[in-house]
Structure 1
Amino acid sequence: MVRLTSLFARALLPATFVVAAPAASTPPPLRRQIAGDEACAEIGRVYNKASLTNTTDNVVVKPSLAYQCLRSISVDVERDTALVHYLRPWLEYQSTVDILLDPPEEYLYPGVDIFGGLDNITQSLENGGYESQIDFTVDLYRLINVKPRDGHLSWSPVLGVLISFSTPALFISISEDGIKSPKIYLYSDYQKSTQEGYNASEVKSFDTAPIIDYIQQRSVDNSRDQDPDAAYNEQLYSAALENVLETTTAGRHLHTTLSDESVIQFVNGTEATVVNRARIVANFSGITSGQAVHERFEVPLDDGEAEVTLNTTRIPFSPALEGYPEPSVIHEDRYISGYLFNESTLGDTAVLAVNVFMSQNGTARTVLEALEDPIEFARVASEFIDRSKSQNKSKLIIDLQGNGGGLVANAMSLYATLFPEAGAEAHMNMRVRAHAALNWVGRTAERLGANLKTLPYPIGFNGFVDEDLKNFTSWEDFYGPETIEGSNYTNVVQPLEVSYARTGLPGNFEIPEPWFKPEDTVILTDGHCASACAYIVGMMTRELGIQVVAMGGRPIDAPMQAVGGTKGGPVISLGPY
């Protein structure tokens, strides 16, 4: 989740790649280096040619050529070791590092020793354990971004964003009647079959791997969701994820190898071949070798910055709301919408779809501009309540499919708007991992006379209050610590926006009279629910007894979690204060 002054609700998954260990027939290092340098030079020539026609936004090469170039970048032991050393103290701020060592029995992924992993990576660097820079990059990326299964924990390596690997093969999971185990189809084939009236064939395999195994392995290798079913859903086409612009990740190959072509085999005996691609996202003009890639993009200049200008196009955030009917009320950025039905079977039912808890079009520069989105969000929710009342819609479905989190203010106003009586007792209790570095920074700032109420959380407590919604009076008042399950954490802290659910925001958000009842409400998720979404679903289920229906997941006869994403609090971005 994010505060009004932050940018993103869920740390966006950065792109990076892993490649398989070389086969026994791998050429000797010198020959491989020459071939790799030529691959980088070829990419440079293709990019130069595109520059002449101003088409550098769509420079595409074969994945094999791109991998060959990346693998030719020599390991920079000195700088890589320094990078690991630099990142280590910042990872002390990750609140789950202790519990991940030995997670609860119900946790469905292996535990991970983050600091032990850093030691292993350092040892591999010192002992010549990496053949190329990309091998080191992938190891470090997976340790930080994937294995902890926390969508809020993210490190974006430079080599991971230079080239985007993807396949056009997008799959969809369909159950014939909503009860039978779902089957996997090629999305384009299934879509065409519904238009032309033929029966699409179930997919058997992708590049010889059984399709279920392929999708599950992708979810293990790529997803940062904490639940395997949510991670599985993330690898497939979903209208809900399409509406928050996340479906493209289902075709991305972040750190696993991708062949130039892939063969899809169908159950009916037919097969299809798709051409995969590697899109050059960074400026490769003049690049002639792997060393040139390293020096341009990874080695800092005198000002401490490296050249990482990416050819990206920002798509306006205005979801098409595919799969949804015409809304009765909708946010100007189309991410929260309400639906009222006239059909007899749904005559008393209203649906509120909340795809995310913030607009991604935010460019707020002032406090007033920052309030525009929460005010519009509250307007839609309140108008939805009013229209539901006027049409006597007493049953409520809250559709949170694809919701990865967002603004605390929006999450709190939704809770208070739908269930005002519960909003009066709203809370968002959180703790921060208490450790020596955090304590030293806080105590030092206080000793030097800094106003901790104005310093950013968690170095200070600007915008945060205690368990009783009162201001912290000192560093000790905030820090504690308190020992829980053998680990130290700060005292309870809450975002100031929690008060919106109790008192409203005079002149901007007024809490309405109650209408819907918890016992007449159902929440719908696809397991993707994370961050602010996780908090809201948690309060509605634990404290109001609202039931949840979770859709999709692995094709097994077993329950899945409704909240499969991170349950963490605000995203803290590292940067100069």
Structure 2
Amino acid sequence: MRLSLPSLLAAACIGVVAASPLNPPASLPNRRGLLPRQNVTNATTPCASVSAVAAAQMATATPTVPARIAWDCINSVPFNQSAAADLVAAMRPYINWQSTVNWLKNPPAEYAEKVQGAYDVWALVNELAEKVNSGSFANEYEFGLQLYKLFQQAHDGHFVYIPDSVGTVFQWRRPEALVSISEDGQAMPAIFVYRDILTTLSGNGTFEPSPVTQIDGVDAVEYLLELSQIGSLQDRDALWNNLFYALGQASLGTDGTAVGMFAGGGRGRYIYPGAETTLTFENGSTIIFENYARVLIPFTGIDSGETLYHNWFSVPLDASLAAGTSSVEEFQQAKFHGAIMKREPDQPLLKRQSSTNFTTPPGYPDPVIITDIVAGYYMPQEGYEDVAVLAVPSFSAVDDGDLNFQQVVERFLAQAKADGKTKLVIDLSANGGGVILQGYDLFKQLFPDIEPFGGNRFRAHEAFNLLGEQISDIVAPYPHDWSVDDDTLLFLMTTPFNYRNDLDEDLDMFFSWDEKFGPEVLGNDDNFTSIIRWNLSDPLISLSSGGINVTGYLNRSEGLSQPFAAEDVMIITDGYCASTCTIFSEMMRNQAGVRTIAMGGRPQSGPIQALGGVKGTNNYPWAAIKGQIEITVEQRSGEEQARLNASIFSDYTTYLPFYRSAQASSPNVNVRDGFRKGETNMPPLQFRYEDADCRILYTAEMTVDVTSLWKAAVDSTWGDETSCVDDQDLSAYGETRRFSKRALNLHPTISSSRLAQLEASLELFTDLFSSKLDGDGIMFP
């Protein structure tokens, strides 16, 4: 049975060490605080060793153990063939909701060439089932890892399943983060240990940072290119960027992937990095450090793989009777997310927006205004007094955050205009998405006279159709407004399964469920609904938006003016722009004509994309799908309820997928594809390749001071000097893909207080229970 876990606090155990000294030490450098943990007890099994080592550490911290011991422990968990077969069967109905299954199998040629190759999810599911049935797996972890990769290989941050054996027990870490930087913004990027850059820029270095040339004996670029493919993003340059430490991710605290995938941030925490890592530097030095694992569960009493399985991976004999995790229960409790009990949106709030209530992120200037996921800044450099910067690293607000987000943006834009700012930079670095209509609202605050298109389609299948028929009929007798005094009915009214909710491609109402459902045949002979657009004038819209009315509609439709001309607005991304971020960016670029700048990218010449994450316009947690089916069936009685229970809905009765998913993770599926106006019969935006207007390479200063990044972007857009390298032949710097022999010539630029803040951001571990564990971006259904 599963145990009830308390919240696990973040561990901070990494010491400072120079990774590439000019004079390599005679012995290998040690990590402070790590060696005592290597004194493994006389335990007879790997899991008993984990238990003993974890017990010897502070009870209030997340224990860490050498990676090899954790690896041996998790691989000693026996494979349960029948349970695995049941799990694979139980997942199939949810995979059927994935909108891109056929597009992925036969993607457009440009996508296959430049982004990711063909991916046949059903073939992989069948292959997995065959291996399970033949008993081909040596242990439970081997099965779980193949199941995890089945989803990950889609490179769709909305298509996620993290099995318990992969994500519940351990997370893998390396003790050093890397950065990929150019010596002057034009030369080929090279790879450095981030702590070396920090030490040098703080003036504390006694050595010259040297590029990493090999990792575990493999060319560093080749090694990292292969490693990058474990990420959730689809674009290869965005995947490259996500390997490294990033200030944008650090600004999200424990919700971000600041240290980068190489060090165990993001999806890197799910893939075993080996017992140790060897870095070889251009100056001839070498460092070997031990990798480690964070122990996420109490190991008291766990002395073998068998007991680990019994305590954490086993399920009740009848998994259809009760939820093994709180996923579905939480959905039931939160199905009226935020707004359902707030019948008057736009109430005064702002209790959390004062800049004194939030810590300035590491590497950022003091904010003009700040809340948890959005902040406004002015550039401190002389000559940039006319520039305002809106940093939006996420649209994933919680609690009353949607209303705070809307009001912070509104106040900052007004303040910027009052202070004489004429240029606006929107920094979307690290933005993995969030609440859909929050993206719409930001767009409408900037361009109130443009009607967002946002066309989308669901995959049209049997369960989707039955839900639509039932819900459209259930809510038919009731007016579509706040006079309905039943929260469940209000919830059902505002789902896509009520044809009266949403508008068609021409912003007209649908007249029936059949008209909304279609289906229409697209691409690879798959069925999809008609084009659907949000009805932003819907009086119940706040039930879908986290509690806000979107700017430009309802009670926010008066007295609006465009704060900045399109040519005076510019977007920066690091490629990690997914979900709602891509919805917002699509409207900004395609409808408003705003320019985009993409940072970093692989060490090769040529432009790169600005949007590197999933461009699907809505994900559904599997719990949301199951919850909506349960609510619908509960609204019926007698013969009709019996008919529904015997229908396709019977495929969704088991809770097994929720029992077997990792603690604090949420199985997800992308349900809506996005389409551009006039191109609704073409492949969805997910499969469109589009270069940014400018590519800028990271420099060392940009990894410690975000304003140096903003300055380069401003100069390249509105100034006399450009840092764009789109037309530069970076390959001229040599086939070795390393720095030339010129020195970095770094000068101290950061104070001791800022150094401490940046070093602290390296110690941020994701809190298992209070943070967004997947680190891939979320969207509410």
Does TM, scored on the shorter chain, surpass 0.5? yes
- CA distance, structure 2, for counterparts of residue 430 and residue 256 of structure 1: 34
What is the deviation of 1:296? Answer: 1.5
Match of 1:345 in 2: 383
Q: How far apart are residue 447 of structure 1 and its match? A: 6.3
Deviation string for 1:183-218 (max 9, x for gaps)?
110001111011225531111122212221222112
Q: How many Å separate the matches in 1 of 2:310 and 2:611?
A: 43
Deviates more, 1:109-118 or 1:457-466: 457-466
* Aligned pairs (5 A) from 1:272-421: 272-301=287-316, 304=322, 320-331=360-371, 333=372, 335-341=373-379, 345-359=383-397, 362=398, 364=399, 372-421=400-449
Query: 2:91 corresponds to which letter in structure 1?
Result: L
1:503 counterpart residue number: 552
- Whether the aligned pair in 2 keeps the contact of 1:150 and 1:566 (CA below 8 Å) is yes
1:200 to 209, 224, 233: 209
1:81-127 per-residue CA deviation (whole Å, 9 max, x = no partner) reads 11111101110101110100011112121111111111001111122
Tell me if the contact between 2:246 and 2:259 (Cα under 8 Å) persists in the aligned partners: no
TM-score by length of 1: 0.82
Q: Are the aligned partners of 1:408 and 1:495 in contact in 2 as well (CA < 8 Å)? A: no
The yes-or-no answer on 1:438 pairing with 2:464 is yes
1:438-480: per-residue Cα shift (whole Å, max 9, x none)? 2234335556788887437455569744445566554323211
Question: Could you tell me which amino acid in structure 1 is paired with residue 242 of structure 2?
Answer: E
Correspondent of 2:109 among 91, 102, 105: 105
**Among candidates 155, 158, 176, match of residue 169 of structure 1:** 176
User: Is contact 1:412–1:501 with CA below 8 Å preserved after alignment?
Assistant: yes
Whole-Å Cα distance in 2 between the matches of residues 449 and 326 of structure 1?
Answer: 50
Residue 64 (structure 1) shift: 1.2
Q: Are 1:488 and 2:527 counterparts?
A: yes
Q: CA deviation at 1:378?
A: 2.2
Q: Which residue of 2 aligns with 1:24?
A: none
Deviation at 1:534, TM superposition (A): 0.2
One-letter amino acid matched to 1:491:
S
Q: Distance in 1 between matches of 2:305 and 2:249?
A: 36
On the 8 A contact 1:530/1:566 being kept in 2, the answer is yes
Instruction: Evaluate the alpha carbon distance shift between residue 77 and residue 385 of structure 1 in structure 2; reply closer, same or farther with a 3 A threshold.
Output: same
Deviation digits for residues 217-256 of structure 1 (CA, Å, limit 9, x no counterpart): 1211x21111000011111011011112221452114443
Q: Distance in 2 between matches of 1:342 and 1:307?
A: 49
The aligned residue for residue 758 of structure 2 is none
SS in 2 for 1:398: strand
Q: In 1, are the aligned partners of 2:360 and 2:366 still within 8 Å (CA)?
A: no
Deviation string 1:155-179 (CA, Å, 9 cap, x unpaired) is 1211122111111120011112212
Task: Report the more deviating stretch, 166-175 or 199-208.
Answer: 199-208
State the match for 1:427 in structure 2.
453
In structure 2, what residue type is equivalent to 1:415?
F
- Any stretches of 5+ residues in structure 1 without a counterpart? 1-34, 310-316, 365-371
- Equivalent residue for 2:68? 64
CA distance in 1, matches of 2:359, 2:279: 30
Alignment of 1:221-236 (within 5 A): 222-236=230-244
1:139 to partner: Cα distance: 0.9
Secondary structure of the equivalent of 1:560? coil
2:244·2:260 contact (CA, 8 Å) conserved in 1? no
Residues 466 and 154 of structure 1, relative CA distance in 2, 3 Å threshold? same
Matches of 1:45 and 1:570 in 2, distance apart? 44
TM-score of the pair, normalised by structure 2: 0.62
Contact 1:183 1:202 in 2 (8 A): yes
In 1, Cα distance between the equivalents of 2:106 and 2:533? 27
Alignment-derived partner of residue 226 in structure 2: 217
Q: How many residues align?
A: 516
Amino acid at match of 1:247: A
Counterpart amino acid of 1:199? E
Note the residue ranges of structure 2 that are not aligned, 5 or more in a row.
Answer: 1-41, 328-356, 478-488, 539-548, 628-781
Aligned-pair RMSD on alpha carbons? Answer: 2.8
Sort the Cα spacing of 1:96 and 1:319 in 2 relative to 1 into closer, same or farther, 3 A.
farther
**Residues 445 and 328 of structure 1: CA distance in aligned 2, closer, same or farther (over 3 Å):** closer
Q: Give 1:40's aligned residue.
A: 47
- Write the distance in 1 (CA, Å) between the matches of 2:411 and 2:120: 48
Rounded to whole Å, the distance in 2 between the matches of 1:208 and 1:418 is 50
Match of 2:516 in 1: 478
Q: Which amino acid aligns with 2:248?
A: A
Structure 2 equivalent of residue 559 of structure 1 = 607
- The CA deviation at 1:358 is 3.2
Q: Name the CA distance, whole Å, in 2 between partners of 1:218 and 1:461.
A: 45
Q: SS at 1:346's partner residue?
A: coil
Q: Which amino acid aligns with 1:73?
A: V
Distance 2:554 2:445 in 1: 12
Counterpart residue type for residue 515 of structure 1? P
Letter of the structure 2 residue corresponding to residue 300 of structure 1: V
Question: How big is the shift at 1:552?
Answer: 0.6
Residue 473 to residue 308, structure 1, CA distance change in 2 (3 Å): closer
In structure 2, the residue matched to 1:181 is 188
| Change beyond 3 A, Cα 1:318–1:264 | farther
Residue 307 of structure 1 and its aligned partner are, at CA, apart by 8.5
The more displaced of 158-167 and 319-328 is 319-328
CA displacement at 1:272 relative to structure 2: 1.9
Tell me what 1:246 maps to.
257
Q: Quote the offset at 1:527 in angstroms.
A: 0.7
1:304 Cα shift? Answer: 4.7
CA contact (8 A) 1:36 1:70 kept: no
Q: Is the 8 A contact 2:177 2:260 kept in 1?
A: no
Alpha-carbon distance in structure 2 between the residues aligned to 1:357 and 1:54: 34
The structural deviation recorded for 1:565 is 0.4
Q: Is the 8 A contact 1:394 1:516 kept in 2?
A: yes
Among all aligned residue pairs of Structure 1 and Structure 2, give the percentage whose two residues are the same amino acid: 29
Is the alpha carbon distance of 1:515 and 1:440 closer, same or farther for their aligned partners in structure 2, counting shifts above 3 Å? closer
Q: Which digits, 9 at most, give the CA deviation of each residue in 1:283-309, with x for residues without a partner?
A: 221112212211211111366555899
Farther-moved stretch of structure 1 (468-477 vs 539-548): 468-477
Aligned residue among 526, 543, 546 for 2:574: 526
Letter in 2 for 1:409: L
Q: Distance in 1 between matches of 2:391 and 2:134?
A: 54
